[in-house]
Amino acid sequence: MKNAAERKTGQLADHGKLFQAIFEQAAIGVALVSTSDGKFIKVNKKYCDITGYSEEEMCNMDFNSITYPEDMKSDFEIIELLKSGNIREFTKEKRYIHKNGEIVWVSGTVSPLWDPGNEPGYYITVVQDITQRKRVEEKLKAAILKTQNEKNKSEAIISALGDGIIIQDKNYNIVYQNKVQTDLMGEHDGELCYKVYERRDTVCEDCPVERTFNDGKIHMTERVVPNGNGLSYFDLISSPLRDPEGNIIAGVKIVRDMTEKRRAEEEVRSTKDRLQFLLDSSFAVIYTCKPFGDFGATYISENVTKVLGYMSSDFTENPLFWQDRIHPDDKERVIRALESIFESEHQILEYRFLDKNGVYMWMRDELRLIRDENNQPKEVAGYWIDITKSKQAQEERIQLLEKEHAARTDAEAARKLDRMKNMFIASTSHELRTPLNSIIGFTGILLQGWSGELNKEQKEYLEMINSSSKHLLELIIEILDISRIESGNIDMKDSVFDLRAVMDEAIRTLRTSIKEKGLDISVEMEDISIRSDRRRLLQCMMNLIGNSVKYTESGSIKISAKILENKVDISVTDTGIGIKTQDIPRLFVPFTRLESPLSMKTSGTGLGLYLTKKLVQDVLGGEIYVLSKYGGGSTFTIQIPVEFKKIRISLPKKNAGFSNIETTGRIIKSKVDI
């Protein structure tokens, strides 16, 4: 996608739009004229209003077709002076022939637009319609010359003029001001003009009235007057006022406000400067080249030095300079694109170009065919943009995509392997559990004496077989659960249940171990109902409580639960042997058992806490925490989501359906009898 600077640069590259801003903004007539044949290239609406022709009609006409014949010769001389470079602009008053045949007086300024070869390719002409003023001015002169004594009639005419009119006697006293001049400068009848207007004690050095008094001719000068908004520009035109005998008795001075015209001219110059600045400071390199042959460059913007390190003259003085620096692998493609520009008229290319430091840079080249007024190929205009960084980023993206693809392939292979592993574990665990259950069952029957009395040694061996089988079965079940969790094949069966009932069931299941050690166990919790996977929560609590029983030789175990916002905290605290600080990070590592005085006395797979953590995080959506002091007991806490509201919620009935139980938040403390 192009950014704003690129779009602007693209417009600048098209000569048909070069001065679009001028045409749209100027409050006076502005036209762009070809120097080769005087054809109008572009005119604004004001120019059309002055001539009476539409823009389409004007662009099919040349400059001479609207110029009054008697003014053509002087126009030709001015054009030659501009071409020679002796003058940079010229202002004159001249006549146009309106479409309806009438004569239109204009004040026009002509200035050339120079191309890279320092040749004027176009002229900019700025005109202001002064027909009405000229007519009034001519009437004024005629009236003053023919009716010097008819003061009232003269005053009526000059009062109607749009310019300020001042009549001064030969002592430079103001004897008359029309309304325009009075509104502009105030009433100053009888005062010396140089005192009230110029704040001087003597006549101005360039006073046009003084020169008129000296030679009886018409004279003109300029004045620049500061005002609140900047500067105002005036033309002062003086002419003699004679008596019937032809003697000069006064001077008539016309004060013409030229501020609007000067500002328009300044805007034209400023716009030209801005356009040149944009060409020179753009990130793009603007160029024009021949539309045939060697496609040699005819113009290239100065910022080519910034982008590529070369001077613009390197390209314009050597037609093959740019071709010689195109990467050999790209050169043929670029030349073919240029040769086909007559058909497509628009090309966008990307190729490598050798900069002055000997490094190939990636350039984006957008070029268009420019045609003349006869629809003949005139030149190719375009611009270069350095896209080296974006090309490098694109290459990096491709490499990244390739790496991602490889990673996805590896991940898929890993998932396939993981599925195979899970299938193996599930199949193997099923095959192992069946004979293990048989061993446990039959050793239990033998130990109970159903097949006859056992001696002490036989009984000892059978108890070892039974214990080892149970330990192996526990390991298989835990491995299977972990495998299901990691493969995402474990289903969560949620229901609404009473949390205290889960704690009681876990304690009842472990009552034999608790009773054997003579431990005190208590439950302290709110009357809490939650929605979760009851079986998995029970499995977690049995693991945590069972762990506390294993590593607590005497003392107590406390189970507590409370609601914190939308979660429930369930803690199991014991007075057991505790855990060393450095060993806490290893608690949840699979197949890891910490060294302790009780390790040899207690059986375990090293998977209980790891499985509990997986169930809490991956199935119940919670977290597990541990606090412990070596020799001072441990507290394991699980935090899982709960729907807890002080309203009636649904709980399962004993047989079917649900019963409504109100959660009161009442804390129940009780010691559990084993």
- DSSP of 229-294: TEEEEEEEEEEEEE-TTS-EEEEEEEEEE-HHHHHHHHHHHHHHHHHHHHHHHSSSEEEEE-SSTT
Q: What are phi and psi of 313, to 5 degrees?
A: -65, -25
Report helix, strand or coil for 312: helix
Q: How far apart are CA 81 and CA 75, in angstroms?
A: 10
Phi first, then psi, for residue 221 (nearest 5°) are: -145, 175
Other beta carbons within 10 Å of 5? 14
Question: 3-class DSSP state for residue 670?
Answer: strand
Of 65, 15, 32, nearest to 372 (Cα)? 15
Q: Which two tokens stand for residue 152?
A: 């009232």
| Three-class SS state of 548 | helix
Residue for token pair 């040749």: 119
pLDDT tier, 38 (very low <50, low <70, confident <90, very high otherwise) = confident
Kindly report which listed range (46-60, 393-407, 631-645) carries the lowest average pLDDT score. Answer: 631-645
Neighbours of 104 (CB within 10 A): 21
Q: Which segments of 25-102 are extended strands (E)?
A: 29-34, 40-43, 90-97
- Domain 4-129: which CATH number of 3.40.50.720, 3.30.450.20, 2.40.30.30, 3.40.50.300: 3.30.450.20
DSSP reduced 3-state for 598: coil
Overall residue count recorded for the chain in this entry = 674
Average pLDDT score over residue span 449-478: 73
HSE, CB side, 13 Å, CA atoms: give it for residue 253: 33
Residue 515 to residue 506: CA distance in whole angstroms: 14
- C-alpha to C-alpha distance for 431 and 476, rounded to whole angstroms: 11
Q: Tokens standing for 644? A: 């807890």
Cα dihedral 437, 443, 444, 449, rounded to 10, equals: 150
**Range in 114-118, 541-545, 607-611 with the lowest mean pLDDT:** 114-118
Where is average pLDDT lowest: 47-51, 286-290, 432-436, 660-664?
660-664
**Average pLDDT value for residue range 98-114:** 86
Q: Are 480 and 640 in contact (CB under 8 A)?
A: no
Specify the pLDDT at position 663.
32
For residue 569, what pLDDT is reported? 92
Q: Give the tens place of pLDDT for each residue, 511-525.
A: 888 888 899 999 998
The confidence band for 558, taking pLDDT boundaries of 50, 70 and 90, is very high
Contact present, 347 and 334 (Cβ < 8 Å)? no
Q: Indicate whether 502 pLDDT > 80.
A: yes
Sole residue written with tokens 């990691």: 486
Distance CA 54, CA 655 (A): 95
* Sign of the Cα pseudo-torsion (478, 482, 485, 487, in order): negative
Residue 160 has pLDDT above 70, yes or no: no
Indicate the SS3 state at residue 66.
helix
Q: Which two structure tokens, joined as six digits, stand for 358? A: 């000997």
Q: State the chain's mean pLDDT as an integer.
A: 78
- How far from chain centre, in Å, is Cα 5? 14
CA dist., res. 285 & res. 471, Å (int): 80
Q: Copy the structure tokens of residue 406.
A: 């490889």
What is the CA angle 517-481-540, rounded to 5?
40
CA distance readout (Å), 604 to 156, 426, 473, 478, 515: 123, 21, 12, 11, 20
Please report which confidence band the pLDDT of residue 618 belongs to, taking 50, 70 and 90 as the band edges: confident
Q: What is the rounded distance in angstroms from the CA atom of residue 196 to the CA atom of residue 186? A: 10
The tokens 């108890």 sit on which residue?
463
pLDDT for the residue 482 = 65
Query: Fold for domain 492-672?
Result: Heat Shock Protein 90 (3.30.565)
Output the pTM of the full model: 0.34
* Range among 172-181, 352-361, 584-593, 649-658 rated most confident: 352-361
Q: Rounded to the nearest 5 degrees, what angle is found at the Cα of 187, between the Cα atoms of 186 and 192? A: 105
Distance set, CA 182 to CA 71, 179, 186, 260, 441 (Å): 36, 5, 4, 20, 128
Read off the amino acid at residue 224: V
Q: Do domains 283-386 and 492-672 have the same CATH topology?
A: no
The yes-or-no verdict on residue 626 having pLDDT over 80 is yes
Q: Which residues pair with 672 in a beta bridge?
A: 521
Domain with residues 133-264, CATH architecture: 2-Layer Sandwich (3.30)
Two structure tokens written together for 288: 């024009």
- What average pLDDT score do residues 153-169 get? 72
Token pair recorded at residue 224 = 């620049």
Return the percent helix, strand and coil in the chain, to nearest 5: 45, 30, 30
Q: Where are the domains of the chain?
A: 4-129, 133-264, 283-386, 392-483, 492-672
When pLDDT is averaged across residues 371-400 and rounded to a whole number, the result is 86
- Cβ–Cβ under 8 Å, residues 612 and 665: no
pLDDT at 648 over 50: no
What is the pLDDT at residue 660? 31
- % of the chain exceeding 90 in pLDDT: 10
Q: What's the average model confidence in pLDDT over 635-640?
A: 93
Residues 6+ apart with CB under 8 A from 517: 549, 552, 553, 554
pLDDT, tens digit, for every residue of 185-238?
788 888 888 888 778 888 888 888 888 888 989 998 887 777 667 777 888 889
Distance CA 623, CA 173 (A): 104
What are the pLDDT digits (tens) for 259-280? 777 777 777 776 666 666 665 6
pLDDT at residue 6 greater than cutoff 60:
no
Supply 70's token pair. 């008697």
Identify the pLDDT of residue 521: 92
Report the chain's C-alpha Rg in angstroms.
Answer: 52
Q: Are 574 and 521 in contact (CB under 8 A)?
A: no
Q: Does 3.30.450.20 match the CATH number of domain 283-386?
A: yes
Per-residue pLDDT, averaged over 334-353, amounts to 86
User: What per-residue confidence (pLDDT) applies to 652?
Assistant: 36
Q: Which of 289, 315, 387 is nearest to 13 (CA)?
A: 289
